[in-house]
Amino acid sequence: MQRSKIDDVILERFIVGPLEVNCYLLTTEDSAILIDPGFAADELRKRVESLNHLESRMILLTHGHFDHTGFCPELVKKGWKAGIHPDDKLLLNRVPPDFEGLGYRDEPFESYVTFKEGWSFNIGSMTLQVIHTPGHSPGSVCFIERKRRWAFTGDTLFADSIGRSDLPGGDEQTLMQSLERLKGVLGPETLVLSGHGGRAKFSTILRINPFLQD
Ligand SMILES: [Zn+2]
Ligand SMILES: [Zn+2]
């Protein structure tokens, strides 16, 4: 777990589940946003239990793949609200049989709200803006925080790679278009907080990521 406090919002990262998803937690004194709670890992579960008294508890999903959504059914039962792009509804937390042995449970859930391109979510002084970046999955999104220059990119963009486009609903050309679009949205100083692997500034990613070379 890494922790950093910027003004009134604390950012924590938990690496959860066998597929090592980055789950990000943003908290203030009275609210929490959890991005991609993919697996009920002990450390994350303990931290989340300490937040169940908060009035405002929101889960934001970068997409519907099970490694990013696995902890949602349990959290929703405890009063967390989950949000996802409507184009990933069908994927939501479906686990291919190969992965059930790893501890992921095929447990679709239906209590969620949908959000779209241009919507935003506030926590403390921060605003997370939704950018629709399909390709890895039809409803993949990034959440952009412009003041702090943070971008939560899910499986669309990693520091040194990009997401797969060969899974159901994925499309390589669409993914490349989304990455092109991100190039216009993210500044060089933006810190990219992706769904797997380490964080990096976008200027570094432009240099080291082979998929972003022209
Ligand atoms: Zn994925
Ligand atoms: Zn993933």
Mean pLDDT calculated for residue range 169-197: 97
- Count of CB atoms within 10 A of residue 32's CB? 22
Residue range 154-178: mean pLDDT, rounded:
96
Instruction: Give the ligand with the smallest distance to the CA of 91.
Output: 1
Helices (H) and strands (E) in the chain, counts: 6, 13
What is the 24 CA–ligand 2 centroid distance (Å)?
A: 13
State the pLDDT at residue 3: 66
What is the pLDDT confidence band of residue 10, given thresholds at 50, 70 and 90?
very high
Which one of the ligands is nearest to 17 CA? 2
Examine the pLDDT at 22 and tell me if it is beyond 80.
Answer: yes
What is the band of 6 on the pLDDT scale with cuts at 50, 70, 90? low
Q: Where are the domains of the chain?
A: 2-212
DSSP run (H or E) holding 69:
helix 66-69
CA distance 129 to 60: 11
Q: How high is the pLDDT of residue 207?
A: 96
- Give the pLDDT confidence score for residue 5 in this predicted structure: 60
Mean per-residue pLDDT, 94-106: 83
Alpha-carbon distance of 56 to 86, in angstroms, equals: 22
CA 42 to chain centre: 19
Report the pLDDT value the prediction gives residue 165, as an integer from 0 to 100: 95
Quick check: 12 pLDDT over 90? Answer: yes
pLDDT in tens, 114-140: 999 999 999 999 999 999 999 999 999
155 CA → ligand 1 middle, Å: 5
Calpha distance 160→84 (Å, rounded): 26
Give me ligand 1 centre to Cα 141, in Å: 11
Residue 142 Cα, ligand 2 centroid: separation in angstroms? Answer: 13
DSSP-derived secondary structure for 151-194: EEEETTB-SS-B--S-STT--HHHHHHHHHHHHHHS-TTPEEEE
Mean pLDDT of the chain: 93
**pTM listed for this prediction:** 0.95
Distance between Cα 146 and ligand 1 center (Å): 24
What number of residues does the chain have?
A: 214
Nearest to 89 by CA among 59, 118, 69: 69
Q: What is the pLDDT of residue 168?
A: 87
Q: Judge whether residue 20 has pLDDT over 70.
A: yes
Q: Residue 45's CB: how many other CB atoms inside 10 A? A: 16
Class of 2-212 per CATH?
alpha beta
Quick one: pLDDT at residue 182?
97
For the chain, the helix, strand and coil percentages under 3-state DSSP, each to the nearest 5:
25, 30, 45
The Cα–Cα gap between 30 and 11 comes to: 14
Q: How confident is the model at residue 106 (pLDDT cuts 50, 70, 90)?
A: confident
